[in-house]
């Protein structure tokens, strides 16, 4: 169990901050991929991570639910506080963290099981004792998929379209009622209509969840997020944070000229 994470906050956070990163750096073996990242993720808001390829967006995202623990050679320094407590503390169970901070990947990755069993999966692992039918319906409704699948819950998830599969993966992630959902380019493998459906869904989900999204698509960041972090790479290919601000400010009146150059397409 993660002790006390619902208790009173300790240092450096207030009730509005769910995740707080402090001087976070990440190495893959000898290669430093990210340095000194400081940012606060606000509750029930959408935070976008943007920046050129290789600047460490996915690496940073994975730090927020300890997915980098699973990457050979990955080492993180600095601190991340989740609800005020050290996410990397000795008493923290990474598996529990990953159910409280869920993840949706770039390519929809449903299991080769029925639609129903995909959503039930996390509930079973968590030893859920409630009514499965109700929990599954609620998750599919929240993921804006219920009406399309309610008559075929026992058919294979692999028969769904790409956009439906991604919404199913979102339903699977939210079934265990995480506090945070991390999304790594969740719409990049989808067509424009499915992409808009995912964006609409993200705006709906933030009523209940805190969302962090990595996206290459700046219009998408502007459409769905409240805060935006802009990262770049230095001459050693190490990623760093240039600017973190309200999305509206980043896209209309950025403080840093590098942000301005990036969002106006002067480099990519």
- Total residue count of the chain as it appears in this document: 268
Give the DSSP letter string of 21-68. Answer: EEEEEEEETTEEEEEEEEEEEETT-EEEEE-STTSSHHHHHHHTTTGG
Q: How many Cα atoms are found within 13 Å in the side-chain-facing hemisphere of 41?
A: 30
Integer Cα distance of 163 and 186 in angstroms: 10
What is the distance between the alpha carbons of residues 45 and 34, in angstroms, rounded to a whole number?
A: 24
User: Where does this chain touch ligand ATP (CB under 6 A) — which range of 52-60, 143-151, 220-228, 250-258?
Assistant: 52-60
Convert residues 7-46 into a mask of x (bound to ligand ATP by CB under 6 A) and - (unbound): ---------------------x--x-x-------------
- State the binding string over 108-127 for ligand ATP (x if CB under 6 A, else -): --------------------
Closer by beta carbon to ligand ATP, 99 or else 215: 215
By the rule CB under 6 A, 188 interacts with ligand ATP: no
List 21, 25, 47, 58, residue binding ligand ATP (CB under 6 A)? 58
Q: Is residue 57 a contact point for ligand ATP (CB under 6 A)? A: yes
**Residue whose CB is less far from ligand ATP, 51 or 102:** 51
Spatial CA neighbour of 170 closest among 114, 115, 223:
115
Interface region with ligand ATP, contact rule CB under 6 A, candidates 39-47, 48-56, 200-208, 259-267:
48-56
When binding is defined by CB under 6 A, the residue of 55, 80, 120, 174 that contacts ligand ATP is 55
Stretch of residues binding ligand ATP (CB under 6 A), selected from 9-17, 57-65, 126-134, 191-199: 57-65
Are 167 and 198 in contact by the 8 Å Cβ rule? The answer is: yes
Question: Cα 211 to chain center, whole Å?
Answer: 6
Beta bridge pairs of residue 229: 49, 244
Does the footprint of ligand ATP cover residue 186 (CB under 6 A)?
no
Q: Is 23 exposed, middle or buried (0-12, 13-18, 19+ CB in 10 A)?
A: exposed
Among 22, 43, 44, 54, binds ligand ATP (CB under 6 A): 54
| Closer residue to ligand ATP in complex, CB, 234/257 | 234
Footprint (CB under 6 A) of ligand ATP, residues 206-265 = 216, 237, 239
Q: Can you read off the two tokens belonging to residue 84?
A: 């005020």
Residues that bind ligand ATP (CB under 6 A): 28, 31, 33, 53-59, 71, 73, 216, 237, 239
């Amino acid at each position: 169990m993660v002790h006390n994470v619902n208790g009173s906050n300790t240092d450096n956070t207030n009730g509005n901050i769910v995740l707080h990163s402090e001087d976070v750096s990440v190495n893959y073996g000898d290669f430093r991929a990210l340095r000194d990242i400081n940012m606060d993720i606000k509750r029930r808001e959408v935070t976008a991570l943007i920046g050129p390829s290789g600047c460490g967006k996915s690496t940073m995202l994975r730090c927020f639910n300890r997915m980098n623990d699973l990457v050979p050679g990955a080492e993180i320094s600095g601190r991340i506080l989740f609800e005020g407590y050290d996410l990397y503390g000795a008493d923290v169970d990474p598996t529990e963290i990953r159910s409280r901070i869920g993840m949706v990947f770039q390519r929809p990755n449903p299991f080769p099981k029925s639609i129903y069993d995909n959503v039930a999966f996390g509930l079973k692992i968590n030893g859920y004792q409630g009514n499965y039918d109700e929990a599954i319906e609620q998750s599919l409704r929240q993921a804006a998929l219920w009406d399309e699948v309610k008559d075929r819950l026992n058919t294979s998830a692999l028969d769904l379209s790409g956009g439906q599969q991604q919404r199913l993966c979102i339903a699977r992630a939210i079934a265990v009622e995480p506090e945070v959902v991390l999304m790594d380019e969740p719409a990049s493998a989808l067509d424009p209509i499915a992409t808009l459906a995912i964006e609409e869904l993200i705006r709906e989900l933030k009523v209940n969840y805190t969302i962090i999204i990595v996206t290459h698509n700046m219009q998408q960041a502007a459409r769905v997020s409240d805060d935006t972090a802009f990262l770049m790479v230095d001459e050693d290919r190490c990623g760093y944070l240039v600017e973190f601000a309200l999305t509206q400010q980043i896209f209309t009146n950025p403080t840093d000229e590098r942000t301005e150059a990036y969002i106006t397409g002067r480099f990519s």
